[in-house]
Structure 1
Amino acid sequence: MKTEAKTKRYEATTGPLVSVAMSNFNGSAYLEAAITSILNQSHTALELIVVDDASTDDSLEILHQMAALDDRLIPIALNKNLGPAGARNVALEAAHGEWVAIIDADDLIHSQRIERLLAAAEQLGADAIADDLLSFGSTDVAGQTLLGHDQTQGPQRLTAARLIHSDTVVTGLASLGYLKPMVRRDALGSLRYDDTLRIGEDFDLYCRLLLGGANFVILPDPTYLYRRHAGSASHRLSTGSLNRLIAAHETLAESAATKHPNDDELLLQLAQRKARLERALRYQHLVAELKTHGVLTTGRHLWRDPALLRNILNSLNDRRRRVTLSARRQRSGDTKTIVLAAPDRLDHVSAPPDAVRISVSVAPTLDNNTWPARGTMARQLVELASRGPIDVIAEGLAGVDALGYLPTWRSTRLSIRKQDTGTTLIPRNVVLELS
């Protein structure tokens, strides 16, 4: 039996447990997909507060159309652009949930993300909880994760020292400040984003939260799909943004010295981060001078500060690596079909001879040990999807779960037992085969 899957609208009956805060500025190209991934969560007791930061595209029209279909979506329109930090603060002030979650307007989340984070947070007594980030969008980074080779067998605690150590202040996905946690509203208290920052505002807030003693846990499950593209503001540095970061860093250092005067590791990491910020600022001045005055004048600066030469070489090598990787993936051939099924069923699913067959299993929990395998599967799926349109053949509940790691597909056929459809959130645009 074949039937088109219908999108279900779920109503929260007890008020929002989770308030999702989203800032949007001219994000109409991705806004509907981001909102849909949130409203289609398996956990339904949520509200989504989208603050439109004085967009000039059709974002507001999209917001009002979608809000008319689901009253959990709450649009707030600003007349003046405040930047991501200021807009998120507006959303935080409007939040009613016991938990608040920040999600960007061009990203996507797995359909069970909020449910999994809530369950783990309650079991671990976390004040803030985040998952791994899975990059998609740009072919040269598709499939990369924030934790990368730092994957563990289970949850890990984030400390202020580790957060600061991770912040490399360079282009790319490295700093744990990119995490998108859910935070207990009572743990957040009066803390808000520093609205003078247009970059690094997440890192700054998380650091202040940790310096205040919050228990911050990271799960190695990459259920946050992080869109990487040329317009990503997170990857743009300037002398102005770096000067503001340095000023905010000084405030963090003063707070740490007052609250944790005997934490030598923390104070060391703060000192090293300040040195990295100052070196990044010198490098930006160097780049500006190179564009204005040419190589000869710039060479004098390199003579006085030769460490900056390493920054130039790293930048050139990174650009060359990304170009090479992108070209290699484009030449790697077309992947037309992906099969997602349990190990004992994988070879029995009817599919084209050149189909890529990927073994899937039940979602990880705190009581099982499937985190590394789940991360490997998710990275493989996104990398395959980055090569072009894909067709998916999925089986069972594990197949449904695996679909949550795919940002897009051309078509999907899902074989599932009829009794499982009543308790399982079926993604949109999926053709069902009921058994």
Structure 2
Amino acid sequence: MSARLPVLVSLVVLSFKRFASTTGPCLASLEGARLDPRLQLILVDNASDDGSAERCGEWAALRSDALYLPQASNLGFGGGMNAGAAAASGEWICLVNSDTVFPAGALPALASTLASLPPSVALVGPVTNQAGNGQRLPLPELEMAKVPAVGATAMRAPTGLLTPSYRTDFFCVAVRRSVWEQLGGLDRAFGLGYYEDFDFSLRLRAAGFEQVIAEDVFVAHVGSASFAKMGDSQHELMRRNRGLLEQRHPAVRFEHVREGNAQALRYLVGVAQASGWTEARRERAAWRYAALLWDEPRSPLKRWRWRFAQRGLRRALAQAGIEPRFPATGDKETT
């Protein structure tokens, strides 16, 4: 009998309420993990009181290869993920929020990307339809049910790009387990959630490690599902945690998502100019260029300043013959 391959990636799925609309679909999209001996699947429920904890238990009871860790109380995003990561045996820990869906091809693409990275890279985020930084590839007005298919199509045309990033959005993120343990995981001081991912990104950067956007791994994201019904307390939590982040990282930069997209597009252009424009890179540049125009500031003065700042990037895109275009979705396209 052949020896079992060492675990490359431990997938930690954090569940909190609404099993039918979030955790259930997420887990269904991860069924392929059970067929790959390099992948470990860990499910954590954060003390759901709407029947979701029981649904998670039923799911796990049918899958002896999955580890289920129900929590007695809501530990928040950081605490819940820390609990799952403590049971991980993989070289990489992939934190997965329950409001995500992995399109066909995403798991193999993730494993392939992580297996090829140099030791200096310790944090990797996929691209997605909904994020607060350069990981976002927007699909305006496209219903969520159709997003995974667009992502699957995009992954069939790999760009070969690993884009440097200032910070990583933790809707789905892979971190080297050795670095996770070195940094002590996520900081519980941020409570239920918000900005603990930003804090981890900055602590990782300060420790001398790199973080990148894996342009060839797409994970669909609903966004803010865990906090949707908090009301005013959600905004208070955000204000409180932003202040905590600023206190701990006085030099922190809060960048609009359009700035992250522009930085990613600028990096893409630089790589293409140096090593060649493939068809996949052209398609990705067209997508990001469309986002650049779609996401411009509304204020006329701010919009003028933004366009002026991006004039060199636009010139380079024009010289390469890149026209702004969102990917075909079957719906009316936005350009």
Same fold (TM over 0.5): yes
Once residues 57 and 179 of structure 1 are traced to their aligned partners in structure 2, the CA distance between those partners, rounded to angstroms, is 22
Once residues 39 and 56 of structure 2 are traced to their aligned partners in structure 1, the CA distance between those partners, rounded to angstroms, is 17
- The answer to whether the 8 Å contact 2:8/2:111 transfers is no
SS at match of 1:16: coil
Once residues 198 and 329 of structure 2 are traced to their aligned partners in structure 1, the CA distance between those partners, rounded to angstroms, is 26
Matched residue, 1:40: 32
**Residues 275-329 of structure 1: per-residue CA shift (max 9 Å, x gap):** x9xxxxxxxxxxxxxxxxxxxxxxxxxxxxxxxxxxxxxxxxxxxxxxxxxxxxx
Identify unmatched segments of 5+ residues in structure 1.
Answer: 1-11, 146-151, 164-175, 254-266, 277-365, 387-435
Is 1:107 equivalent to 2:100 in the alignment? Answer: yes
Structure 2 counterpart of 1:25, which letter?
F
Number of residue-to-residue matches in the alignment? 247
Is 1:194 equivalent to 2:187 in the alignment? Answer: yes
Q: Could you say if the C-alpha distance between residues 230 and 54 of structure 1 is closer, same or farther in structure 2, counting changes exceeding 3 Å?
A: closer
Structure 1 counterpart of 2:220, which letter?
L
Is 1:154 equivalent to 2:161 in the alignment? Answer: yes
Matched residue, 1:17: 8
- The answer to whether the 8 Å contact 1:221/1:374 transfers is no
- The answer to whether the 8 Å contact 1:131/1:181 transfers is yes
TM-score for the superposition, normalised by structure 1? 0.49
Residue among 201, 218, 222 paired with 1:223 = 218
Is 1:248 equivalent to 2:245 in the alignment? Answer: yes
SS at match of 1:183: strand
**Percent identity between the two aligned chains:** 21
Residue among 280, 283, 286 paired with 1:373 = 283
Question: How far off its partner does 1:232 sit?
Answer: 4.9
Matched residue, 1:428: none
Question: Larger Rg: 1 or 2?
Answer: 1
Identify unmatched segments of 5+ residues in structure 2.
Answer: 131-137, 152-158, 256-275, 289-324
Question: How far off its partner does 1:33 sit?
Answer: 1.4
Query: Alpha carbon RMSD of aligned pairs, Å?
Result: 3.9
- The answer to whether the 8 Å contact 2:100/2:171 transfers is no
Question: How far off its partner does 1:216 sit?
Answer: 1.4
Once residues 160 and 5 of structure 2 are traced to their aligned partners in structure 1, the CA distance between those partners, rounded to angstroms, is 35
Residue among 19, 22, 26 paired with 1:28 = 19
Structure 2 counterpart of 1:216, which letter?
Q
**Residues 354-395 of structure 1: per-residue CA shift (max 9 Å, x gap):** xxxxxxxxxxxx996514526859964667499xxxxxxxxx
Structure 2 counterpart of 1:101, which letter?
C
SS at match of 2:189: coil
Q: Could you say if the C-alpha distance between residues 234 and 93 of structure 1 is closer, same or farther in structure 2, counting changes exceeding 3 Å?
A: farther
Matched residue, 1:207: 202
Matched residue, 1:90: 83
SS at match of 2:12: strand
Question: How far off its partner does 1:234 sit?
Answer: 11
Structure 2 counterpart of 1:155, which letter?
L
Is 1:129 equivalent to 2:39 in the alignment? Answer: no
- The answer to whether the 8 Å contact 2:4/2:37 transfers is no
Once residues 134 and 78 of structure 1 are traced to their aligned partners in structure 2, the CA distance between those partners, rounded to angstroms, is 30
Once residues 228 and 104 of structure 1 are traced to their aligned partners in structure 2, the CA distance between those partners, rounded to angstroms, is 9
Structure 2 counterpart of 1:115, which letter?
P
Once residues 128 and 372 of structure 1 are traced to their aligned partners in structure 2, the CA distance between those partners, rounded to angstroms, is 26
Once residues 232 and 373 of structure 1 are traced to their aligned partners in structure 2, the CA distance between those partners, rounded to angstroms, is 34
- The answer to whether the 8 Å contact 1:38/1:111 transfers is no
Structure 2 counterpart of 1:20, which letter?
L
The equivalences for 1:31-430 within 5 A come to 31-41=23-33, 43-125=36-118, 126-135=121-130, 139=141, 154-158=161-165, 162-163=166-167, 176-178=168-170, 180-191=172-183, 192-197=185-190, 198-221=193-216, 223-228=218-223, 232-233=227-228, 237-253=234-250, 267=251, 270=252, 273=254, 370-373=280-283, 376=287, 380=327, 384=331
Once residues 196 and 223 of structure 1 are traced to their aligned partners in structure 2, the CA distance between those partners, rounded to angstroms, is 30
Once residues 100 and 187 of structure 1 are traced to their aligned partners in structure 2, the CA distance between those partners, rounded to angstroms, is 10
Comparing 193-202 with 373-382, greater Cα deviation is found at: 373-382
- The answer to whether the 8 Å contact 2:109/2:217 transfers is no
Matched residue, 1:362: none
Once residues 326 and 19 of structure 2 are traced to their aligned partners in structure 1, the CA distance between those partners, rounded to angstroms, is 27
Question: How far off its partner does 1:178 sit?
Answer: 4.8
Question: How far off its partner does 1:241 sit?
Answer: 3.2
Structure 2 counterpart of 1:16, which letter?
V
Once residues 86 and 229 of structure 1 are traced to their aligned partners in structure 2, the CA distance between those partners, rounded to angstroms, is 17
Question: How far off its partner does 1:49 sit?
Answer: 1.4
- The answer to whether the 8 Å contact 1:199/1:234 transfers is no
